[in-house]
Amino acid sequence: MTSGITNEGVGVGPDGSRERRVRTGGIELCVAESGDPARPTVVLVHGYPDSKEVWSEVAGRLAHRFHVVIYDVRGHGRSSAPSPLRGGFTLEKLTDDFLAVAEAVSPDRPVHLVGHDWGSVQGWEFTTVRRTEGRIASFTSVAGPSLDHFGHWMRKRTTRPTPRRLAQLLGQGAKSWYVYALLTPVLPELAWRGPLGRRWPRILRRMERPPTGGYPTPSLPEDAARGAWLYRDNVPARLRRPRPDAHAHAPVQLITPTGDAFLSERLHDELDIWVPRLTRRTLSAKHWVPRTRPDQLAVWIGDFVRAHDGGPTAGTAGPVPAPAPVPVPRGPYAERFGGRLVLVTGAASGIGRATALAFAAAGARIVAVDRDGEGAAGTAETARLAGAPDAWGETADVGDEEAMEKLAGKVAAEYGVVDVLVNNAGIGLAGPLLRTGTEDWKEVLDVNLWGVIHGCRLFGGQMAERGQGGHIVNIASAAAYLPSRVLPAYSTSKAAVLMLSTCLRAELAGRDIGVSAICPGFIHTNITSTARFAGVDEAEQQRRRRKSARLYGLRNYPPEKVADAVLRAVVRNRAVVPVTPEARGGLFLSRVSPKVLRAIARLDPPL
C-alpha cells in the first residue's frame, strides 16, 4: 500500500504545463499535467535512460482531447532519488509511486496508462498486480516487456527447447547485451557520468534521428547512472522467479516497433495467455518511437482510450457512459495499418478501389482520389463499411499539377500527413509508335507518369518534412520491362515509373520512407474497356476493346490480389513486386535473357 502521500502546490512548467510535486514514501515526484482535467486522464511513463520529456511530442498531440499526465520516475529528471539507491527502485516501490500520482491527478476515476521501455516494464507490473485493480482503465505498452512474462518465456525455451525456441532465446540474448553491462557494479555509473553521458545525444541522433528540442535533458547522465538500479533491483530476481499470476486486469494495447534493436518481436508470441483483452499493433520504426513516431502513437493511444473509457468508477458513484464506438479492424494487416492515413489515386474502380478497401479492412483511414468524383465517394462509403474509421472521397485529375497541389494542401490541413501513398491512377494506350500522335503521348504521360511525379513530390515531400517515416507505392506494370511493338507509349510511361521508384527509394531511405513499385501483369479490370487504340477508327477501337476485355476476363486475375500484394509490399518494404506468374516470369527473363523478350516483342498480338 502507498503511505505518507502528500500533494504539493501547482506551478507552471517550462512548456506551459501545470506542474506539481507528489510525495510518497520519502520520494518527491515531479508531475506535469496538460489538457482539461475533466476529460479522461492519460498517464505517460518514461523509460531508461529518459525523463518525462521523452513524451513531450505525444503529450502535446493528446492534450486537446485528454487530461495528459507525465512524471519523472524516482531518481530521474526533477524527481528525487531514494537513499540508499540499492533497493530503492523495486517494482513494488514504483507501483507505490504510480498509485500516488494516480490519486493526485485523478482521484475519482481510473487512468489510462501508457509506458515506453522501462515505463512499459513498470506498466505491466501496475496492470497485473491486484492492488491496482480499478485504478487502470487501459494500458498501452510500447517497446517494453513484462519481466514476469519474459521470465516464463525464457523458462519455456530452456526447459522445453526446440531449434526454433533456442534460436529465439539466442536472438533475444544477443539483443540484451546492454542488460548484462548495466548489472555490473560501478562501471555503468562511471560510463554515464563520463564519456557515454556526454556522447549519448549524438549516439541517439545517429541511431534513430529523433527531433531535437528539450530532449535529452541535461540531467540525463545522472538519471542514467542512478537508473541502472532499475535493472539491478528487478531483472535478476524476476527472471529467476517470475510471478505465476501475472494476468492483466485491464485491456492492453501492445505496440511493437519492428526495427527495435533491443527487443525481439518474438517476446510477445504467447502474450494472449496473460492478457484476455489484447490489441496488437506493429510499427515500422526503431526503439524510441515516442520521439520518432509521435503522430501515430497519439492516434493509436487516443483511439484505445476512447474505446475503453468507462467514466468514473474509483471513489464515486453514478452512471457509467458507454465507450465511444471505435471500429475493430478485421483484415490480416490490422496490426500494422489500423488508424493510419492512406491515400489512393484512381480509387473509383479496379486496382485502386480494391487497394483502398484492403487498407480499410485493416483499419486504415482512407482518402480515395479519382477524377470521377462520384466513384471516389462510392469507394469512400464502401471503405467505411469495410472497417475504415474514417474515409473521404476527393476529386482530382492527377495529371493536373495545380489540382494536385490543392489536394495535397487540403489533405494535410483537414486529414493530416499521409502515412501511405498509393499512386495508382493510370490509363491504357495501345498502338504502334508511328500511329501514336503527340496528343496521345501527352495524355498517357500526364496521367501515368506526371501523376506519379506529382503524388511523390507533394505527398512524399510532406512525409519527409514531418520526419516520421512513411511509404510510397507506385503502380507500374509488367510492361515496364516487357517490350511490345504495340505498347510503346504505355510501356514507356510505366518503365519511367519503375525507374522513378528506384531512384526515389534511394533518396528517401535515410528518412525512413519506403518506396515500392508494383508491376501487375494481366489484371481483370475496366481499364480494357476504357483503353484507347491509336491509329484506328471508332468502330475498330470498340471491337478491340471488346476483344481485349474478353481476353482479360478469361485470364480472370482479380484486382484484389494486386491489392494484397500492395499491403505486403508496404509491410515488408519491398522494392519491386511483380504480380501474376507472367509478370514474375517476365522480370526473370528481363534479367537473364533479355534477347528472348526482344524476340517476343516483335510478335503481333491477336487484337
Q: Please give the positions annotated as active site.
A: 490
277, three cell numbers: 483483452
Task: Decide: helix, strand or coil at residue 393.
Answer: strand
CA distance linking residue 506 with residue 282, whole number of Å: 24
CA distance linking residue 70 with residue 62, whole number of Å: 12
Structural contact between residues 461 and 512, judged by C-beta atoms closer than 8 angstroms: no
Q: What is the CA radius of gyration of the chain?
A: 28
Residue tagged 495529371 (cell numbers): 399
Compute φ and ψ for 538, nearest 5 degrees.
-65, -40
3-state SS track over 236-294: HHHHHCCCCCCCCCCCEEEEEECCCCCCCHHHHCCHHHCCCCEEEEEECCCCCHHHHCH
Structural contact between residues 393 and 346, judged by C-beta atoms closer than 8 angstroms: no
552, HSE (Cβ side, Cα atoms, 13 Å): 21
What is the DSSP pairing of strand 18-24 with strand 27-34? antiparallel
Residue 486's CB is within 10 A of a number of other CB atoms, namely 20
Residue 163 CB partners (closer than 8 Å, separation 6+):
none
Task: Decide: helix, strand or coil at residue 514.
Answer: strand
Q: Identify the DSSP state of 90.
A: -
CA distance linking residue 263 with residue 207, whole number of Å: 15
CA distance linking residue 212 with residue 411, whole number of Å: 27
Query: For the chain, what is the total number of helices (H) and then of strands (E)?
Result: 23, 18
409, three cell numbers: 494542401
* Alpha carbon distances (Å) from 110 to 102, 103, 124: 8, 9, 16
CA end-to-end span of the chain, whole Å?
A: 82
CA distance linking residue 326 with residue 308, whole number of Å: 10
* Alpha carbon distances (Å) from 4 to 22, 26, 72, 153, 431: 10, 8, 19, 37, 85
Structural contact between residues 508 and 464, judged by C-beta atoms closer than 8 angstroms: yes
510, three cell numbers: 535515410
Structural contact between residues 423 and 452, judged by C-beta atoms closer than 8 angstroms: yes
Q: Exposure of 414 by Cβ count < 10 A (0-12 exposed, 13-18 middle, 19+ buried)?
A: exposed
| Type of residue found at 322 | A
Name which of 479, 552, 466, 481 is nearest 512 in CA terms: 466
539, three cell numbers: 468502330
Compute φ and ψ for 508, nearest 5 degrees.
-95, 0
Structural contact between residues 183 and 230, judged by C-beta atoms closer than 8 angstroms: no
